[in-house]
Amino acid sequence: MRFGILGPLDIRTDDGTPVDPGGPRPRALLTLLLLDAGRAVSAQRLTDGLYGKEPPAGAANALQSQISRLRRRLAPHTEIEATATGYRVAVAPDTVDVHRFEIWSAAGRAALRAGDHQNAAARLREALALWRGSALPDLPDAYAEAARLEELRLAAVQDRVEAELALGGGSGLVPELRALLAAHPLSERLYGQLMRALHASGRPAEALTVFEEARRALADQLGADPSPELSALHLELLRGAEPERPRLPVQLTRFVGREPELARIAGLLTGARLVTLTGPGGAGKTRLALEAANKSEAARRGGGVCFVELAPLGDGSQIPYAVLTALGVREGLRSPVADITDRLLAALEERELLLVLDNCEHLVDAAASVAALLLASCPGMRILATSRESLNITGEILVPVPPLPPEPAERLFLDRARAVRPGFDGHARVPHICAALDGLPLAIELAAARLRTLTPDELADRLDDRFRVLSRGDRSKAPRHRTLRAVVEWSWELLDAEERELARRLTVFSGGATLAAVEAVCGLPYPEDLLASLVEKSFLEVSEGRYRMLETIRAFAAGDLPDPGGLRDAHAGYFLRLAEEAEPKLRGGGQLPWLARLSAEHGNLDAALRHLVRHGPEDALRLMAVLSCFWRLRGLHGEQVTSARALLAAVGDAPPPGLTEEYVLCALNVLLGDGDHAAGRDGHDELVARVDALMAGCAGPLRLPYILMLWSVAAGPRPTTDEEALALAGDDPWARALLDVGLGFRDLLAGRPREAEKCFARGLDGFRATGDRWGMANCLDPLGMAAHARGDSRRALELLDEGLAYMRELAAPEETADLLRTRGTVLLHQGDTAGAEAHFEQALTLARGAGLPDKVAGARRGLGDAARLSGDTAHARVHYENALRECAANWFSVGETVRILIGFGRTAAAEGDAEEARDWFRQAAGLAVEGPGTLELADAAGALASVAESAERAAVLLGAGTALRGARAEADPDVVRVERDVRAKLSPEAYDQAFDQGLRQRSAAVSER
């Protein structure tokens, strides 16, 4: 949504539909929240803003009521969240016009200080266009804040005028400045700007008269004289002084991004004498050089910059003539070739000058010779060059110009798109478009121009054929910059035959390659020199031993790839061998470097798998199997569902000989996807049955033991005997430790917590022996909860912190989210609501980013519990509703759903509606019967006890819950509170008798109505 408070409150959805927040009070309340968008606003401040310093009785309840009404008005687009101290509107600051105004005006002011007048004027115009009237009209008593904003508005107007004056504006500004002075008759800055505008528009006499007006106004109102600055301007105008302008091409569009590069160039030009900007074609080297030159000290001196375009030259001997022409030095009637160098040196040897040599790459040797001569002979000379490779001169400093990062790339696209489609305010696929174009500014500008005729979706869908789509450009540009193909061809023609051949072969890699991979796949011995040459010519990037080709260059070079099938076979074979080497090492102490290595090769591994699914299904089964553990650790398993389904279809209903485990893992990757097989639910169940049959026929031990874990996650706890499980695990220490984890969860779900804890402890010892961080963390989580259940929360936090340390090393999102949620639960039960909420929020962010709906549901349920236990039942309901929407229809979601339903019931009970609470608890109990164990029924029993029709019935339910759980719920504040209340109503004998009855009846006691 978009919010406006610089004028009457205006709320619009992303498609422009207005939203009515209600009457004056809700409008004032929302305005107060939007002033601190994204941050908590205290209840006291909101009350003061709504009712003044003397609020009526019951103001706190009235505020909560106003919040509830406003929340309903804004739903479902925007949420108002309760915090420990107040409320927060959950929107990004940049969706509120006042925050955009402050950010944009500050950026404009910074550009103005840096001398970037065009950028400054554009930014400030954008900022001022956000105003639709006076500030905060829906908060009539907010005098101080409204006055502050109006002052910022006036300052932005003056900054914008300053920038436009520097760009040559004059007569067009005069009426506006006179109107501003009528409203602000004591502003010396406005008087000075009006004087300069009149002088620039050819009205010097009027400019001098304005100075006299300023002198009289200051004397009459303040008894003061004009400032030294205004008096100096008056003297300058009397003398008719006119500053010189740098000799640089004037740009027609706003410069976007490149702040780090600009800062580095500015720093280098203060000391270095030759700075060369290098990078691929279309990266924006020329524009960056112009921007840096325009902001340089030489430009500020006036006349100290000269720009020379070398691209049109076909012969290096023409470079001195091009420099002389750019300097404005005429040759006269006679100027033999022999003395052209002398003439050039004579023109430059006494000058202090920044010389910009643009596009040196096709004449690099000649450009290097001229640059070396000038630097040696002209001490006041500095050179800023642009080239796709270095000039290779002693003293040269290189500034690589890489593609734009995502944020400035998207800003550039939006800026250029608005030029052809006014009012364009972005689109969800803009980031994809910019990423697909490698962040190359030229490609982004060409793409944005296509929005004249294409929608963003149509443009994004056509980028697979980028050279055809981006085939029309600015007619004023040189031919090599009019289309994307022309830009790449310009670079391609500068390569020799060997370089082109290697560049073609490198296109088989996705996401880059190591030197070893290049040697093995490309079939070229000792390619180091050729790789170095391609790097120097900006055809490749190299970082930490990996060579990467931009996708745009890769698409061009792949157009005539020789023998693509043979190269892709070699590529797939190399990465299959790499994955097979890595697989056992992912389960031990050396897993971190191997995880990093496989993560770096993620694109290549995916490409190899896609190729093998089509051309080598048996090898595809092997590759998918050895990568399954990696995908699980990195939270990438969801990405592979499509490939797993295609591979399963290619292989058929039975595994090839010797590949049963690999086939099972492929099937498990299907089942672990979205839970909905292509053949529908029946197909899903049939696939589960097929996997069960294959696993039942496996005598063991398993070669790929993590099948045990994926099997149980995909299809639920399996009815496998201990002997069968031990046979599958064999003597492998890692598999035995994993088996102990599985047995621990089996005992835990069956209500045998002590036996479960022993299993997890054995598993932890086993994983410690192997050094596997993932395994240790997955034991530490239930061990921490076991310690907490016994009342030893300090030990619980120690165990959970150790697990979190391991998971953060692994960067495993799913397990990290689990541990954070568990730790948040411990903190919540200790009474640390704020700490618990922070943990649940972190878990929510991780789970949402990794696309894990069940983990999202658990984190939201935790936030609901925290809100409920702190007395905020309205927020609790919102969190529970959101959690319920996330729960998937699979076996491991049953327990989470039961606990969410119980949360709804406890919320209703806290609000005094026992009948609604009882209804929620009965729903939870009915669903708990479908769960994989007895813990859900135990939770339902404890909940039903809180609304039982008698104290005796409550004690029976508490006993049943204890029996189902296998222990008392000593750490759960909800159950502890119910038990305390029931004991207070019964004699010890009566309580014990009823409690024992529940212990004996177990689940039957819960299901009674």
Q: Determine contact, residues 448/422, Cβ cutoff 8 Å.
A: no
- Structure tokens that stand for 755 in this block: 């036996």
pLDDT-wise least confident of 207-221, 750-764, 834-848, 877-891: 877-891
Rounded CA separation 1007/941 (Å): 9
Please classify residue 723 by burial: count the beta carbons closer than 10 Å to its beta carbon, then call 0-12 exposed, 13-18 middle and 19+ buried.
exposed
Helix axes 484-492, 441-449, angle to 10 degrees: 150
Q: What is the pLDDT of residues 154-206, one digit of tens each?
A: 999 998 888 888 776 666 788 888 888 888 888 888 988 888 888 777 677 77
Rounded CA separation 401/393 (Å): 19
The three-state secondary structure class of 317 is helix
Average per-residue pLDDT in the chain?
82
SS3 content of the chain, % helix, strand, coil (to 5): 65, 5, 30
pLDDT at 476: 43
Binned at pLDDT 50, 70 and 90, residue 560 comes out as low
User: Per-residue pLDDT for 679 more than 50?
Assistant: no
- Structure tokens that stand for 941 in this block: 């029993």
DSSP state of 358: E
In the chain, the percentage of residues whose pLDDT exceeds 90 is 20
Say whether the peptide bond before residue 406 is cis (omega within 30 degrees of 0).
no
Give residues with Cβ within 8 angstroms of 500, minimum separation 6. 492, 557
In the chain, the percentage of residues whose pLDDT exceeds 70 is 87
Greater pLDDT, 996 or 62: 996
Beta partners for 542? 547
Give residues with Cβ within 8 angstroms of 271, minimum separation 6. none
pLDDT at 680: 42
Binned at pLDDT 50, 70 and 90, residue 574 comes out as very high
Neighbours of 667 (CB within 10 A): 25
Greater pLDDT, 333 or 754: 754
Task: Compute the average pLDDT of residues 245-270.
Answer: 74
Binned at pLDDT 50, 70 and 90, residue 328 comes out as low
State which of 373-382, 491-500, 563-572, 722-731 shows the largest mean pLDDT: 373-382
The three-state secondary structure class of 731 is coil
Q: Determine contact, residues 586/630, Cβ cutoff 8 Å.
A: yes
Rounded CA separation 1001/1007 (Å): 10
- What is the residue whose two structure tokens read 């200051």? 218
Q: Determine contact, residues 503/557, Cβ cutoff 8 Å.
A: yes
DSSP state of 316: G
pLDDT at 332: 37
Helix axes 59-74, 873-886, angle to 10 degrees: 20
Q: CA distances (Å), 1001 to each of 266, 351, 383, 991, 998, in order?
A: 81, 101, 90, 15, 5
The three-state secondary structure class of 777 is helix
User: Per-residue pLDDT for 912 more than 50?
Assistant: yes
pLDDT at 676: 39
Give residues with Cβ within 8 angstroms of 695, minimum separation 6. 664, 707, 711, 718, 728
pLDDT at 377: 86
- Structure tokens that stand for 441 in this block: 């500014």
User: Per-residue pLDDT for 337 more than 50?
Assistant: no
Give residues with Cβ within 8 angstroms of 395, minimum separation 6. 272, 273, 274, 375
Which amino acid, 78?
A: T
Q: Determine contact, residues 553/280, Cβ cutoff 8 Å.
A: yes
Give the pTM: 0.60
H helix intervals, 381-482: 406-420, 430-436, 441-449, 456-461, 466-469
Rounded CA separation 48/322 (Å): 70
Rounded CA separation 615/45 (Å): 67
Rounded CA separation 781/796 (Å): 9
- What is the residue whose two structure tokens read 């209703």? 908
- Structure tokens that stand for 661 in this block: 């485990």
Give ∠ CA 618-619-625 in degrees, rounded to 5. Answer: 95
Q: Determine contact, residues 937/964, Cβ cutoff 8 Å.
A: yes
Rounded CA separation 621/625 (Å): 6
Give residues with Cβ within 8 angstroms of 44, minimum separation 6. 86
Rounded CA separation 833/973 (Å): 13
Greater pLDDT, 725 or 548: 548
Task: Compute the average pLDDT of residues 119-124.
Answer: 86
Give residues with Cβ within 8 angstroms of 557, minimum separation 6. 492, 500, 503, 504, 506, 507, 549
pLDDT at 906: 93
Rounded CA separation 171/145 (Å): 34
State which of 259-263, 397-401, 615-619, 723-727 shows the largest mean pLDDT: 615-619
pLDDT at 242: 44
- The phi, psi pair for 648, rounded to 5°, reads -60, -40
User: Per-residue pLDDT for 860 more than 90?
Assistant: yes
pLDDT at 715: 57
Q: Of 591, 623, 595, which is closest to residue 607 (Cα–Cα)?
A: 623
Rounded CA separation 424/104 (Å): 18
The three-state secondary structure class of 730 is coil
Q: CA distances (Å), 826 to each of 369, 795, 835, in order?
A: 72, 11, 10
Q: What is the pLDDT of residues 583-629, one digit of tens each?
A: 999 888 888 999 889 988 988 998 899 999 999 999 999 999 999 88
Rounded CA separation 314/714 (Å): 66
Q: Determine contact, residues 439/403, Cβ cutoff 8 Å.
A: yes
- The phi, psi pair for 476, rounded to 5°, reads -80, -15
C-alpha dihedral (165, 167, 173, 177), degrees to nearest 10 = -30
pLDDT at 833: 93
Pairing of strands 353-358, 381-387: parallel
Q: What is the pLDDT of residues 473-532, one digit of tens each?
A: 444 444 444 466 766 776 677 678 888 888 888 888 988 899 999 989 988 777 888 888
Q: What is the pLDDT of residues 366-393, one digit of tens each?
A: 899 999 988 888 888 889 998 888 888 8
- Structure tokens that stand for 681 in this block: 């639910």
Q: Determine contact, residues 311/252, Cβ cutoff 8 Å.
A: no
- Structure tokens that stand for 72 in this block: 């309903």
Rounded CA separation 819/835 (Å): 14
